[in-house]
Structure 1
Amino acid sequence: MHFKNKIVIITGAASGIGKACAFQFAKKGATVVVADINLENAQKIADEIVTNQGNALPIKVNVAKFTDVEKLINTTVAEFGKIDIMINNAGIGPSYLKTHEATLRDWDRVISVNQTGVFYGMKLALQQFLIQGYGNIVNVASLAGLKASSHNISYSASKFAVVGMTKSAAMEYASQNIRINAVCPGYTASPLLDQLRNTKPEMDAKLKSVIPMKRYAKPDEIAAAVLWLASDETQFITGQTITLDGGTSL
């Protein structure tokens, strides 16, 4: 599996799963656009990729802003002439409240990034893919987009939406050499999980108790599935959600 001469955009690439994807794509030969709201960290990731003989371009983007995502796509095309792969990974967590306690601010904040941000990324990447005649999108959803998840209404809603958008768009563009899939990670060692554990320390043992493998996923393990779906080895796969949860959904 290689990505030589491929141009890959990864949102939320400065940490967690996005960071792992950036390093793995670069190691396999891709030129990686390290897109993140935190430009300082994105620059660090890009610098490390370049230091290891890879190619990377850091770009600041707030995926909740259409003009930011538009600039991301336009800058990438202007710089490299194409986009081969779009990884919509940027996401934020909720405030972990019951539905009747959830604030309007929390709802709007999470939906704008996790759902609307993915829509923006898909819409604009697809416009470029239609010009090129090909393309590949992998969305990072969640186990919370496949099954019930309490104290999580905005996050759950956004991730169910990502799964639905993935399937709907995959059907629309399957005949045009464009594939769209999603990964649905379970509990993964990442800043989002750290946020939950810092808010409710007692959750650490509770979460591990419902994972048959008794551990969290490593970001590299999720990234490996992203790369597989984005590769030429899965050319007849579209509209699918790959669950990586250590058996939690069982």
Structure 2
Amino acid sequence: MKPWENKVVLISGGLGDIALATALAFGREGAKIALSDIRMPADANGKLELLQRENITFLYNQVDIAVAAAVSEWVNAVHLSWGRIDVAVVNAATVTMQSIADISAAAWQAEIQVNLNGAFFLAQQAAIYFSKHHIKGNIVFLGSWAAHAVHPYIPAYSVAKAGMRMLCKCMALEFAAQDIRVNEIAPGYVNAGLSKEVWDQRADLAETAKLKVPLQRLIEAYEVAAQILWICADANRHLTGSCLLMDGGLSLLRP
């Protein structure tokens, strides 16, 4: 039997590169995958073909992670479909590239609502679910090295990720006695999402980013997924409230 046979993994922001790589990683180990994203199911089909081609069992739900009631309904729907949930990967995020002087109140609030409040809504519902059903579950926050290193032009994103890191620690302590583990993966420059779109068009910018990293390579989505899979393994049963920083040494540099 594969290690994740018949286990269920929730992944928010499910149509993103890291989310799909994570779905593949768990799915190849036998897990059932419950994905959610803001996009309608008809708009998701092209992305979901990745899972279909590998005969991975999955569900897709359109969910606005920034709405607490919608998150609760999603968790309940997955339980009704499969009868259990074992892992919640808190991945959904958005970013506004503006200075503090220029970002509007609406843009700030919208980003905090998704990146921090939405993360809380899913993590809270997952923890309550694990506790109610006596499941030794895992919650993994997809964080960022921007949680501790100052990044110009992404203030709301950085603040939200810093808040998420403390949320991770608070939850880890509160639910430790129930054997519910809560951790964060904090990548540096990942060749995924908006960055990948830019770097695919501008190889020179990708090379510049790579050379900034002490290890001089970019992170691929599947490498982040591998660490999420690893952190949830039973062999890591003593690991909770931790941040796994995988930034290639960027944090070692002076600003």
TM, length-normalised to structure 2: 0.90
- Pick one of 226, 232, 239 that aligns with 1:237: 239
CA displacement, residues 188-245 of structure 1 (integer Å, 9 cap, x when unaligned): 01113247769x9986454333211223210000111111112212111000000111
Do structure 1's residue 14 and structure 2's residue 47 form an aligned pair? no
Aligned to 2:144: 142
Q: What are the equivalent positions in structure 2 for 1:19-38 lying under 5 Å apart? A: 19-38=20-39
Helix, strand or coil for the counterpart of 2:140? Answer: strand
Going from structure 1 to structure 2, the CA distance change for 1:62 and 1:236 (only over 3 Å counts) comes to same
Helix, strand or coil for the counterpart of 1:239? Answer: coil
Aligned to 1:119: 120
Do structure 1's residue 157 and structure 2's residue 152 form an aligned pair? no
d(CA) in 1 for partners of 2:213 and 2:77?
42
CA displacement, residues 39-77 of structure 1 (integer Å, 9 cap, x when unaligned): 345444445424423211111111011122111101011
Going from structure 1 to structure 2, the CA distance change for 1:197 and 1:107 (only over 3 Å counts) comes to farther
Aligned to 1:59: 61
The residue type paired with residue 184 of structure 2 is: A
Compare 60-69 and 167-176 and name the one that shifted more.
60-69
Give structure 2 stretches of 5+ with no counterpart.
Answer: none
- Pick one of 61, 72, 75 that aligns with 1:73: 75
Question: Per-residue deviation at 1:117?
Answer: 0.6
d(CA) in 1 for partners of 2:118 and 2:150?
22
- Pick one of 220, 223, 226 that aligns with 2:222: 220
Helix, strand or coil for the counterpart of 1:70? Answer: helix
d(CA) in 2 for partners of 1:205 and 1:52?
32
CA displacement, residues 57-99 of structure 1 (integer Å, 9 cap, x when unaligned): 111111011122111101011111111000000111122x221
Going from structure 1 to structure 2, the CA distance change for 1:20 and 1:99 (only over 3 Å counts) comes to same
Aligned residues with identical type, % of pairs: 28
Do structure 1's residue 104 and structure 2's residue 108 form an aligned pair? no
Give structure 1 stretches of 5+ with no counterpart.
Answer: none
Helix, strand or coil for the counterpart of 1:249? Answer: helix
The residue type paired with residue 123 of structure 2 is: M
The residue type paired with residue 11 of structure 1 is: S
Q: CA RMSD in A?
A: 2.2
Helix, strand or coil for the counterpart of 2:117? Answer: helix
TM, length-normalised to structure 1: 0.92
Instruction: Number of aligned residue pairs: give it.
Output: 249
Helix, strand or coil for the counterpart of 2:190? Answer: coil
Aligned to 2:134: 133
d(CA) in 2 for partners of 1:247 and 1:165?
24
Question: Per-residue deviation at 1:124?
Answer: 0.9
Aligned to 1:176: 178
